[in-house]
Structure 1
């Protein structure tokens, strides 16, 4: 049985861009039911047509993309894909949009827009279709998130261990809550592989650093990471765990071919960690489309580590966790906000085994 064709509203203040995006989506099997030139028109179009997905420009006159996202999520929650500039400033505003409820983002190319955008047509269509299937039925409140974080910090957790987190579509806000929920005195070494362009991973690391008790930075080639530290794999490069000793991990970055069409790929990082790390090891697969992470957590499980997958109910896109679960190597299937406690329990079990 084939899936119904997703219905989209395309929002951009450029008539040229609205036309090009609409043509690309229509050619890829997405029905564009309306277009809008600013945020106010976007809200009205969503209320009128009740689409499956919205592609939302950020910079628009009058009502911008951020305000439009906020209004749509308040009046008729709908999966939204932000179209962002490939810049540091664009990254900051994009993360604000994700906080307000947008599911994911797609970077607009610079230069000859029509030529470069056309080269990304297949990627855009895949992402729009994935976001169209996202569950935006309301995430946890700020109070709920605070209570979850507080619950994980009870007691003394000086167990150490390495935690590898894989995430893609819908992942940044979940990753932020997971890392923020890990107590500093647990002394974990944390590595995050979030599918994200290179202009965004540094800003993402800064956000995780501000939100958590851990010292978080974007990984550089030759980095060493110890307890209480976290690294984010940089966009465009694979992160390899190249050595371990003295409570620290040594990191190597490579530009080897993409896996699953992505670089960084979590499978690369997880396989290398499974081969290298002797201490307690936990692999976590969060929301995202595709199969990245499934082979990686299989390697972690085969090496005696513990595997956690996010459950379907709390995943915006259940592709990556589902593929991991289908491997038969997942120990716990948890809601996103329960993952920090699951990590603590897993490390404690391994330490006491």
Structure 2
């Protein structure tokens, strides 16, 4: 039985880029059913051709890629892959597009150097194919309520300050939480972290498959949308309770030292033959070796098997382990592989994960 080739609409204001991306996708077995030069044409092409996936440029005349994503999600929801400049400004607009419903992004190396797409054609085809399989019904509830990090952080703190006091909850001392994710992960990580109260006092490490130009901006967004002090990891960085690190793109994060509730990390260029940097497996395994206080490991949405070995290492170290369920995963790849190891203690929909994590670190009466 033959599998139907996936159908794509390619959107870019540069004719050269449209042709280049189209050729790469066709060579990879993806059928390009239409091309569009701006957001207006993109929305119309999606309505007309009903593709499986859209590759979307950001900066275009008449209607940019962010507005086009929003229109597509309102009229005919379709998985969208953003093609983003490999810059910090590119990261900002990419996260805006993810907020509006885009599934994932592909960072064009060297900013707008178009030939970089050709050099990375295998990765682009793989990314397009994975995004095409995303279940957008699972993406809808992941969109954040707020639109800017500062507004979100102010709102979180104001709501805590003005709400009626709740009974004091006692938590175990010095818990560490490691979260791994890939496709669909940025909003999933945020959904977990923003529901963890500061008094749980976690040391949090986030490993999200993402290039280095984007992980700093991702850390800033998490910092603004949660009660935790979140920053991008640097070599030798230390964190204690109420603090979080986001692993850098292009390196692997290792826990080099742990003592009295504070951990120190080191960064390495070694990919440990994992094929991805940062690798969830590498970081989780390192945490399992170094941290002897309570541990929790969580694997969220993503393509592939990264995290499966790391979850086994955490399980052997006595950690409580959680995987996102198929019901809520945008891509049920990484969680499925983790569950298959037999080392996952609980499987939950995304919206229930934070509560379960907290239940596991509460002091028993």
Please tell me whether the aligned partners of residues 98 and 104 of structure 1 are also in contact (alpha carbons under 8 angstroms).
yes
Residue matched to 2:41 = 41
- The answer to whether 1:164 aligns with 2:178 is yes
Per the normalisation by structure 1, the TM-score is: 0.94
CA distance in 1, matches of 2:22, 2:232: 35
Please tell me whether the aligned partners of residues 144 and 187 of structure 2 are also in contact (alpha carbons under 8 angstroms).
no
Q: Shift of residue 2 of structure 1?
A: 5.0
Residue matched to 1:294 = 308
For each residue in 1:77-118, what CA deviation from the matched residue of structure 2 results, as whole angstroms up to 9, or x when unmatched? 110000000111110000000000000000112379354222
Residue matched to 1:117 = 117
Residue matched to 2:140 = 139
CA distance in 2, matches of 1:260, 1:253: 15
CA distance in 2, matches of 1:345, 1:112: 47
Per the normalisation by structure 2, the TM-score is: 0.91
Q: Shift of residue 346 of structure 1?
A: 2.0
Q: How many residues align?
A: 348
Residue matched to 1:96 = 96
Residue matched to 2:81 = 81
1:259-274 → structure 2 map (5 Å cutoff): 259-274=273-288
CA distance in 1, matches of 2:333, 2:170: 32
CA distance in 1, matches of 2:235, 2:228: 20
Q: Shift of residue 335 of structure 1?
A: 0.9
1:168-207 → structure 2 map (5 Å cutoff): 168-207=182-221
Residue matched to 2:150 = none
Structure 1: unaligned runs, 5 residues or longer: none
1:7-22 → structure 2 map (5 Å cutoff): 7-22=7-22
Please tell me whether the aligned partners of residues 182 and 300 of structure 2 are also in contact (alpha carbons under 8 angstroms).
yes
CA distance in 1, matches of 2:194, 2:273: 29
SS in 2 for 1:46: helix
For each residue in 1:136-157, what CA deviation from the matched residue of structure 2 results, as whole angstroms up to 9, or x when unmatched? 02522767xx99x99xx87524
Cα distance change, pair 142–28 in 1 and its aligned pair in 2 (3 A): closer
Please tell me whether the aligned partners of residues 86 and 111 of structure 2 are also in contact (alpha carbons under 8 angstroms).
no
SS in 1 for 2:55: strand
SS in 2 for 1:318: coil
Please tell me whether the aligned partners of residues 241 and 250 of structure 1 are also in contact (alpha carbons under 8 angstroms).
yes
Q: Shift of residue 242 of structure 1?
A: 1.3
Residue matched to 1:6 = 6
Please tell me whether the aligned partners of residues 104 and 170 of structure 1 are also in contact (alpha carbons under 8 angstroms).
yes
Residue matched to 1:282 = 296
CA distance in 2, matches of 1:320, 1:157: 32
Cα distance change, pair 279–111 in 1 and its aligned pair in 2 (3 A): closer
Please tell me whether the aligned partners of residues 87 and 111 of structure 2 are also in contact (alpha carbons under 8 angstroms).
no
Please tell me whether the aligned partners of residues 171 and 361 of structure 2 are also in contact (alpha carbons under 8 angstroms).
no
For each residue in 1:223-270, what CA deviation from the matched residue of structure 2 results, as whole angstroms up to 9, or x when unmatched? 111000000001111000111111111111111025432111010110
Q: Shift of residue 9 of structure 1?
A: 0.4
Please tell me whether the aligned partners of residues 260 and 290 of structure 1 are also in contact (alpha carbons under 8 angstroms).
no
Structure 2: unaligned runs, 5 residues or longer: 146-154, 161-165
CA distance in 1, matches of 2:167, 2:18: 51
For each residue in 1:321-352, what CA deviation from the matched residue of structure 2 results, as whole angstroms up to 9, or x when unmatched? 0110111111111111111111111223xx54
CA distance in 2, matches of 1:97, 1:114: 21
CA distance in 2, matches of 1:50, 1:258: 41
SS in 2 for 1:175: helix
For each residue in 1:4-27, what CA deviation from the matched residue of structure 2 results, as whole angstroms up to 9, or x when unmatched? 211100000000000000000010
Residue matched to 2:71 = 71
SS in 2 for 1:113: coil
Cα distance change, pair 287–112 in 1 and its aligned pair in 2 (3 A): closer
For each residue in 1:119-151, what CA deviation from the matched residue of structure 2 results, as whole angstroms up to 9, or x when unmatched? 2000000000000000102522767xx99x99x
SS in 1 for 2:298: strand
CA distance in 2, matches of 1:29, 1:242: 44
